[in-house]
Amino acid sequence: MTQNLSIPLSDLQPGDQGEVIQVQAQGQIRQRLLEMGFIRGARLRVEKLAPLGDPMELVIKGYHLSLRRDESACILVHRVA
Amino acid sequence: MSLTIALAGNPNCGKTTLFNALTGARHHVGNWPGVTVERRSGAFEQDGLTLEVVDLPGTYSLAARSEDERVAAQFLASPEVDLVLNVLDASNLERNLYLSTQLLELGKPVAFVLNMVDDAENRGVHIDVAALETLLGGPVIPTVGNRAQGIPELKALLAVLARGESTRCRRITVDYGHDIEGELAKLETEICRDEKLEAAMPPRWLALQLLENNAEAKRRVAESHASEAISQQLTKSFAFLEPHLGADGATLIAERRYGFAHGLVKEVATAPDEGRTPTARLDAVLTHRWLGIPIFVGILALVYSVSFILGKIPQDWIAEGFKALSDFAGAHLPAGELTSLLVDGVIPGVSAVIVFVPVIMILMGCIAFLEDTGYMARAAFIMDRLMHVMGLHGKSFIPLIMGSGCNVPAIQAARTIESRQDRLITILVTPLVSCSARLQVYIVIAGTFFTPFKAALAIIAMHFLGLGLAVLMGRILRSALFAGPSSPFVMELPPYRLPVLKATLIHMWEKGSVFLTRAGTTIFAGATLIWFLSRYPGIANQEWTAQYQEQRQAVAALKLPGAEEEDRLRALQLAHESRIVNTSLAARLGQKASPLLRPILDPDHKRAEAWKDVIALTAGFVAKEIVVSTMAVIHQASDEPKPGERLSPLQVSLRDNSGLSPLTALAFMVFTLIYTPCLGTVAMIRREAGSWGWAGFTIAYGLVLGWGLAWITVAAGRALGFA
């Protein structure tokens, strides 16, 4: 059952898809991530990493967003095939 | 009768284009009170009504955390707003509707614009407008903002709504489910105990923000006499909801809002086509792992050359035009105080303001273009890693690089950075980046004291030193001023769009005119003050003026050939000016202040002329390149080399008489780099950072840092055995 293992979003590789389990950030960052669509069950796909390896580009709720590793590390997801 | 419409929407939803289409070119640009967020308002007439439109900053939410959101939330809640017009990006409907769920809670009529329907259609998204209208409970007008499609219908609708003749606004709100609604009702009851709180905004809206743990809402409640009852109820609500629904209030509310948006989109819109969008195809190249950076550097080089190489042409015309005007006035008006005020004060002052306009307009045009196409977000995406290490934001990169052309528009370019912290830090460190005006000083000094090869090395070193210091100060300021977590980097990469030329032109015009009106006065006042300091009391000395006139007449009487006469006259003028400047208030100040600079510019106490540096540096406050022309006057030697000679008379004089050694000359260059931003930059910092305090701070830290580094240069140089 590797599928249901919860991992930080920062562990997903370009091309991987995931489903949000929980936003672990606190305060301002948490609120912002929620507003941008990181709610339980939201589907996302990692598009690519920036040329220098950080931040990452992902697609959520049909739009493209970039997140630094600092932020993506506090979003728990599980991988979706 | 006049009514106010607030234009609200996400960033990149085409709000500003729509604003331009509604109001034409008649708008007013200012700042929102107390903050440096741009406030744009305009008006249009429809059916005999004047409708005032206020363009709010683009936000994803009204949670009032950033400056932009606070401004938007406060204005929307104020009684000034009669109608809210929510602009929705049809191709990104779900996320756009999140903000709508908040707008619907404000208790004001809300109308919707479904913008960029063409983009959505191209992606295969068809939207049932009638169904959307029913579900949102307000009129929806589809538009294509950049082609003014749907604008007449929108204007007509707004007039009808403004008159209150429409029954199409039904005030729908999101249903948060039985449990949350129950707690909301209880909180509302407690809130209504305080009439003032109840009147300020709809109690339900405040209750929602409390459940979301919103700091601003809590602060409001804390000021109320009912605060204890409200807080108790809030604690009870949290205690009930969290275990019951398995998440905290903020998560639950966001989930319900997205649930509403998701359901609505499913109902009214078809799913987008599979397959790569044009944006994805462009991004495959533009943010490519290997190609991304070279392309970015290429675009940056292009913007830089267009702004500072192309922009230099009109800049030179302006400078030459004013120089000619000043020469003409100087030659035809009798020598004296008023002439000097005009020739040395007013004309150069006005010139110092206007020369900036072309480069500001061009650079701002380029930046608006990059922003409107969507590339700016990619630039930040590419550079963020590097800038993050430096304690800055990806979007700080462009202002810093542009700073090496001219600091003034570079600081203005920092507007693109959303977070106030990141923007402020960028603004405060940009003056450390060596600009082209400082280059002119380096060329004269380095050319005098170093061999051409070493001079080039020294000049390059100055530029790296400036950038390095900007990075270092960025880190220091970040930890000193904004301790705590840095603002989150959660940045949308919007679809690429072709910008509307008219919008770019309007933007350029606004930036140019704002500079002239706001910063212009400061620069002009400063330039006049420096003129006063460097000319009085000598300029009022009648005897000197009379002597000068006599000498001129004597030369004229010799009837020398044209060129020789001109040379002699110029030498006389230089001698006369030199006499005035070297006995001026600035010179006295220089003599008083030179002990302060002695450790860096005169470590052996051997220089008789050290005080002259102070005059030149004081004058350089107006604009750095003036350091050179002032030196020419105080050393009474022209800064233009005679044909066939490498060094100008000024450089010869500096080498032979000033007492500067190669080492102190280098210290002089270091000090010139850092000691203070020029007046234009100071005026721009004052405007963009929003207070004189920050402008003063920049001058102060520049002086301290400049002195310190120049001292280190001298000390290290001497330790290594240089003189």
- B494 to chain A, any CB pair closer than 8 A? The answer is yes
Domains and CATH numbers, chain B: 2-162 (3.40.50.300), 178-268 (1.10.287.1770), 518-719 (no CATH)
The minimum CA-CA distance between A57 and chain B, rounded to whole Å, is 8
B404 token code pair: 């090496």
Inter-residue contact B586 to B536 (CB < 8 Å):
no
Compute the mean pLDDT over every residue in chain A, rounded to the nearest whole number: 91
| CB pair distance less than 8 Å for A51 and B272 | no
> According to the model, what pLDDT value does residue B170 have?
78
H-run or E-run covering B4: strand B2-9
A71 neighbourhood in chain B, CB within 8 Å = 488-490
User: Which domain covers residue A21, as residue numbers?
Assistant: 2-80
Residue partners of B396: CB distance under 8 A and separation at least 6: B387, B414, B417, B422, B425, B426, B474
The minimum CA-CA distance between B270 and chain A, rounded to whole Å, is 13
Please state the domain count of chain A: 1
- B100 to chain A, any CB pair closer than 8 A? The answer is no
> According to the model, what pLDDT value does residue B327 have?
86
A68 neighbourhood in chain B, CB within 8 Å = 384, 388, 488-489
| CB pair distance less than 8 Å for B487 and A40 | no
B311 token code pair: 């922009």
> Residue B54 phi/psi, 5° resolution?
-115, 125
| CB pair distance less than 8 Å for A35 and B60 | yes
Residues of chain B with pLDDT under 70: 1, 25, 145, 484-487, 723
If you compute the radius of gyration of chain A from its CA atoms, what whole number of angstroms results?
11
Mutation to test the B interface, candidates A46, A52, A56, A75, most B Cβ within 10 Å:
A52
| CB pair distance less than 8 Å for A35 and B61 | yes
| CB pair distance less than 8 Å for B92 and A37 | no
Mutation to test the A interface, candidates B68, B385, B392, B492, most A Cβ within 10 Å:
B385
Distance CA B262, CA B99 (A): 13
Ramachandran region, residue B133 (left: φ > 0; alpha: ψ -120 to 50; beta: rest): alpha
- B488 to chain A, any CB pair closer than 8 A? The answer is yes
- Residue B144 DSSP class: B
Instruction: Give the closest of A34, A55, A62 to B381, CB-based.
Output: A55
Helix (H, G, I), strand (E, B) or coil at A65: strand
The residue assigned the tokens 């009798």 is: B334
Instruction: Give the closest of A31, A51, A57 to B65, CB-based.
Output: A31
Inter-residue contact B88 to B9 (CB < 8 Å):
yes
- B118 to chain A, any CB pair closer than 8 A? The answer is no
Residue ranges of chain A whose CB lies within 8 Å of a chain B CB: 23, 27-37, 39-40, 42, 48-55, 57, 61-68, 70-71
Instruction: Give the closest of B212, B290, B488 to A28, CB-based.
Output: B488
A55 neighbourhood in chain B, CB within 8 Å = 381, 384-385, 489, 491
B256 token code pair: 């319900």
Inter-residue contact B127 to B141 (CB < 8 Å):
no
Beta strands across the sheet bearing B140-142: B27-31, B38-46, B49-55, B2-9, B83-89, B110-115, B140-142
Do β-strands B27-31 and B490-492 pair in parallel, antiparallel, or remain unpaired? unpaired
- B289 to chain A, any CB pair closer than 8 A? The answer is yes
A36 neighbourhood in chain B, CB within 8 Å = 60, 95, 490
> According to the model, what pLDDT value does residue B341 have?
85
Residue partners of B34: CB distance under 8 A and separation at least 6: B690
| CB pair distance less than 8 Å for B377 and A48 | no
> According to the model, what pLDDT value does residue B555 have?
86
| CB pair distance less than 8 Å for A62 and B272 | yes
| CB pair distance less than 8 Å for B251 and A37 | no
Distance CA B234, CA B210 (A): 7
With CA atoms as reference, report the closest residue to B680 among B368, B366, B360.
B360
Could you tell me how many CB contacts below 8 A there are between chain A and chain B? 119
Helix (H, G, I), strand (E, B) or coil at A7: strand
Distance CA B153, CA B176 (A): 34
Q: Rounding to the nearest 10 degrees, give the CA dihedral for residues B120, B126, B131, B133.
A: 20
| CB pair distance less than 8 Å for A37 and B258 | yes
> According to the model, what pLDDT value does residue B484 have?
62
CA angle (B391, B469, B315) in 5-degree steps? 105
> According to the model, what pLDDT value does residue B485 have?
61
- B496 to chain A, any CB pair closer than 8 A? The answer is no
pTM of the predicted model, to two decimals? 0.88
With CA atoms as reference, report the closest residue to B423 among B504, B356, B492, B487.
B487
| CB pair distance less than 8 Å for B490 and A28 | no
The minimum CA-CA distance between B420 and chain A, rounded to whole Å, is 14
Ramachandran region, residue B557 (left: φ > 0; alpha: ψ -120 to 50; beta: rest): alpha
Distance CA B86, CA B97 (A): 9
Q: Is the pLDDT of residue A1 over 50?
A: no
- B492 to chain A, any CB pair closer than 8 A? The answer is yes
DSSP H helical segments within B539-648, as ranges? 542-557, 562-581, 585-601, 610-619, 626-634
- B98 to chain A, any CB pair closer than 8 A? The answer is yes
What are the Cα distances from residue B564, in Å, to B332, B559, B642?
20, 10, 13
| CB pair distance less than 8 Å for A34 and B65 | no
What CATH number does residue A20 fall under?
2.30.30.90
